[in-house]
Amino acid sequence: MSANISNVDVILDTEDLDVPSCPHGPALLFIKYDQDGDKPGKQRKFFACSAFRDRKQCRFFQYADEKISKEKMEERKLITKGNSPKYSHEDLWNRSQRLQHTQVHDSARVYCHTCDLLLVPEEHQQHKGHTLKMNISCSLLQRPTQLFQPQDNNKTYAQYLFASSTVTFTLEALDKLGVTHVLCVGAPRIHEAVTNRSGSKGHSTRTLLLDLDARYMQVYSSSQFCRFNMFNFHFFDSETSQQVYQDFVTPSPEKRVAIVTDPPFGGMVEALARTMSRIMSDCVRQDKDEEEVITVPVLWFFPYFLEKRIAEAIPALHMLDYKVDYDNHSLFSAKKKKGSPVRIFTNLQARQIPLPSNEGYRWCEVCEQYSAEENKHCDKCGRCTSKDGTSYVHCETCERCVKPSWAHCSSCNRCQLQDHKCGSSQESGCHICGQSGHKRRDCPLKHLSNRKRKKELAFQSGAAVSRNKKRKKSEKKEKKRR
């Protein structure tokens, strides 16, 4: 998938189509809108890798109406085979167990970062000249997020690891909920923390990690880890992994499952939401005694500025004010002036997840939610309005709170950045007409030619200006009358 997706939408309904696959499972179907020239509504559908936006990482591409030759099909099979792990999950797990549970000195445990492989003693000589991690303790093998080098490319895995404060907060929240099973979808550090404390006094929580990163097959058994693509709900070891997953999420009276997910921030939200909705549905159980559907708690870690897209995709989720810190990302850290922009989206009531008062969070009785220290309650708006880590200010003209870096512009008739260019919009909307409330694929103007579209937009703009003048005139008359 191209990194520039401003004129591309994903199509999730592909049940009647023959969907091709790449090394990362079934591809996603996209539609590209061509807005050049005067030809109306020119579009082209194509399949591309679901997991990688960067074509350098996965070159798979196929137009939806393209006929594929047998030669190309065979070539794809070879590419998929070449991208598969060299060893099976069982073989990798057995190698790890050999190094942990036999009389092996730390110096004999070596990890090759070049090959992403935990080496057994007889393989050391074969990896000379590679980037090696020497003297690996059993304790480090139990903390693979510290052993593996994070793949921190935003266009691919985007493995940003939670800071210890975030891990502690998450575990405490899960404990308060009485969770017995934690399904971690791309949240390896939470899985690691739950696994390492399991069996200790007072802790018996089970956890299962679903992640695309094949390296975890070396340190977790098939009952603890399933290689999984969250963008297309694809299990790589289909039979074994799907059964492990199904057994883990299958509802029972004694089981209380929670879902924790930390997906790549650059991924397609619609595709992620489809997977999350499916998992939530798999976890739901019916309470026979109370005749009530018991929903599964969800903690989805994502930037606050994508709140609207998540709410549109899964309306049951709402955003908490907790700032999520990461160890290996300079922007997603408490060290930043505004703090991290990452928040938690959940289907739980705010009262069920208390935010730490020692970090400045407080309970707002009016909003019935926990708010950050800088998130002041606005009596005029009737809620705590700040979202980006600053204290919003109320604009009397717009009748809403805005960022402190904004000021009201009489020409634009709305609040904008102080150095903005009049006429430009700061609000996201349809890419064709600029209006909010619908997406490009639902735009009533999408079938018009560029010439007719510009004419219609000019007419709408003129009508809006006329209405605005009439409104101002009416307001002036009303003031004089008073």
For the segment 301-331, what is each residue's pLDDT rounded down to a tens digit?
Answer: 999 999 999 999 999 999 999 999 998 765 6
Q: What percent of the chain has pLDDT over 90?
A: 61
pLDDT digits (tens, 9 = 90+) for 219-245: 999 999 999 999 999 999 888 999 999
Residue 38 has pLDDT above 70, yes or no: no
Q: What is the pLDDT of residue 99?
A: 87
What pairing do the DSSP bridges indicate for beta strands 298-303 and 257-261? parallel
Architecture of domain 89-141: 2-Layer Sandwich (3.30)
pLDDT digits 0-9 by tens, 357-366: 999 999 999 9
Give the per-residue pLDDT at 56.
84
Could you tell me how many residues make up the chain? 482
Strand 225-229: give its sheet, edge to edge.
Answer: 234-235, 225-229, 206-211, 181-185, 257-261, 298-303, 342-346, 318-319
What is the pLDDT confidence band of residue 373, given thresholds at 50, 70 and 90? very high
337's CB contacts (< 8 A; 6+ apart) are 389
Residue 282 has pLDDT above 90, yes or no: yes
Residue found under tokens 């790449």: 22
Instruction: Determine the residue type at 327.
Output: D
Collapsed DSSP state (helix, strand, coil) of residue 97: helix
Q: Check residue 387 and give its pLDDT.
A: 93
At 251 the pLDDT is 87
Q: Can you tell me the distance from the alpha carbon of 335 to that of 344, in angstroms, rounded to the nearest whole number?
A: 19
- 482 confidence band (pLDDT: 50, 70, 90): low
Q: How confident is the model at residue 53, as a pLDDT?
A: 79
This prediction's pTM: 0.85
Out of 35-49, 84-98, 99-113, pick the least confident: 35-49
Residue 354 has pLDDT above 90, yes or no: yes
Q: How far apart are CA 40 and CA 173, in angstroms?
A: 53
Give the residue-averaged pLDDT of 87-116: 89
Query: What residue ranges in 66-176 does DSSP mark as E strands?
Result: 110-112, 117-119, 132-133
Spatial contact of 264 and 157, defined as CB atoms under 8 Å apart:
yes
pLDDT of residue 428: 53
Q: Which residues contact 31 (CB under 8 A, 6 or more apart)?
A: 8, 9, 11, 43, 44, 45, 46, 441
The residues of the chain that CATH labels 3.30.160 are 89-141
Q: Where exactly does CATH 3.40.50.150 map onto the chain?
A: 164-354
| Among candidate residues 220, 156, 165, 221, the one with its CA nearest the CA of residue 188 | 220
Superfamily of domain 164-354 in CATH is Vaccinia Virus protein VP39 (3.40.50.150)
> What integer pLDDT is reported at residue 3 of this predicted model?
36
For 140-169, what is the mean pLDDT?
82
Cα–Cα dist 284/259, whole Å: 12
| Residue 1 pLDDT grade (very low, low, confident, very high; cuts 50, 70, 90) | very low
Dump the DSSP string for 415-457: EEETTPPTT---S---TTT--SSS-GGG-TTTTS-HHHHHHHH
User: 3-class DSSP state for residue 171?
Assistant: helix
Give yes or no for residue 134 having a pLDDT over 60: yes
- Report whether pLDDT(289) > 80: no
Instruction: Render pLDDT for 331-350 as a digit per residue (tens, 0 to 9).
Output: 666 666 788 999 999 999 99
- Phi-psi group of 227: left, alpha or beta (phi > 0 → left; psi -120 to 50 → alpha; rest → beta): beta
The pLDDT value recorded for residue 119 is 93
The mean of the pLDDT values for the chain is 85
Predicted confidence band of residue 2 (pLDDT cuts 50, 70, 90): very low
Beta carbons within 10 angstroms of residue 471's beta carbon:
11
pLDDT digits (tens, 9 = 90+) for 173-192: 999 999 999 999 999 999 99
